[in-house]
């Protein structure tokens, strides 16, 4: 009878393992909630999206603006929206140590690329994550951080979406693995200029230069092709966003794309379909090659 009860208990624990999973993780910066879609049962691998906030913002604030947790059930992805470290200045602003230009203004040695990589591994440990569909979405400083993490951990990241961010400016060799890149940027951005600029004397590339660099990394032709117009900005009439695609000749698992919001600001008033369009683009760009170099 004792053996039977033990076996029954083991069966119950196995059947309820999805319910017993932790709903948050903590890697030293406080509790980090994990959004779990209603369809998640632990048996089918789920995509993972890591949402990276802009300078001075927070993970919760970024999700409130972009609304990805609201569509997690519809699309079936896991979501984490971590907070960057707090700078040592009097305002204690949150930031990501992403590039020379943005936004480590007090010379912190924090390894945010490693921290985000650790978050991904922690979520993989707790949940059944599809290793070919690990994605980053970042706004502004978070966009810079998405590029940085994709470069450092190209064997793990399938694709990134950067809204109003930019790639590193200096020349570097291509990362070991291709990564799908989508840059979304408004032409009227007064904070991170569409045409590129500098922050405190540290230059960052233009939106086009960012995606062209990654097209080159991914082995693509650097001659882009125009595609359909999109509606990403709620206050600008019509389909205001043009699409430039770098897909010809790319290595398997890599591409590069630029969505230009004509007249769009640094914090555009996002259309009702913005988050869905971004997720659908991510889903169309899984990782095709897996490296164990990370």
Sole residue written with tokens 């949940």: 127
Cβ–Cβ under 8 Å, residues 233 and 240: yes
Tell me the Cα Rg of the chain.
20
Q: What is the pLDDT of residues 226-262, one digit of tens each?
A: 988 999 999 999 999 999 999 999 999 999 999 999 9
In the chain the beta strands, taken as DSSP E runs, fall at: 24-26, 31-35, 46-52, 78-80, 85-86, 94-95, 129-139, 159-163, 180-186, 197-199, 202-204, 225-230, 241-246, 255-261
pLDDT digits (tens, 9 = 90+) for 107-164: 999 999 999 999 999 999 999 999 999 999 999 999 999 999 999 999 999 999 999 9
CATH number of the 35-283 domain: 3.40.50.1820
Percent of the chain with pLDDT over 90: 84
Q: Which two tokens stand for residue 263?
A: 């007249």
| Domain residue ranges in the chain | 35-283
């Amino acid at each position: 009878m004792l053996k039977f009860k033990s076996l029954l208990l083991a069966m119950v624990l196995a059947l309820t393992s999805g319910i017993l999973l932790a709903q948050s993780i903590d890697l030293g910066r406080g509790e980090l909630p994990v959004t779990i879609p209603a369809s998640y049962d632990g048996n089918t691998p789920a995509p993972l999206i890591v949402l990276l906030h802009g300078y001075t913002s927070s993970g919760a604030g970024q999700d409130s603006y972009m609304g990805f947790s609201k569509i997690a059930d519809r699309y079936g992805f896991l979501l984490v929206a971590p907070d960057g470290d707090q700078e040592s200045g009097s305002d204690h602003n949150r930031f990501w140590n992403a590039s020379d230009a943005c936004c480590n203004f007090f010379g912190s040695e924090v390894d945010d690329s490693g921290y985000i990589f650790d978050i991904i591994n922690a979520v993989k440990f707790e949940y059944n994550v599809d290793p070919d569909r690990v994605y980053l979405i970042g706004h502004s400083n978070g966009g810079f951080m998405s590029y940085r993490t994709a470069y450092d951990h190209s064997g793990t990241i399938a694709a990134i979406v950067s809204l109003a961010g930019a790639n590193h400016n200096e020349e570097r060799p291509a990362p070991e693995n291709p990564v799908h890149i989508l840059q979304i940027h408004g032409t009227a951005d007064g904070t991170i200029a569409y045409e590129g600029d500098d922050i405190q004397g540290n230059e960052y590339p233009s939106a086009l230069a960012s995606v062209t660099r990654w097209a080159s990394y991914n082995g693509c032709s650097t001659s882009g092709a125009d595609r359909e117009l999109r509606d990403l900005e709620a206050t600008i009439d019509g389909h205001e966003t043009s699409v430039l695609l770098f897909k010809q000749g790319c290595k398997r698992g890599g591409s590069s794309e630029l969505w230009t919001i004509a007249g769009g600001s640094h914090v555009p008033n996002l259309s009702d379909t913005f988050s869905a369009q971004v997720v659908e683009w991510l889903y169309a760009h899984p990782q095709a090659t897996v490296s164990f170099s990370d």
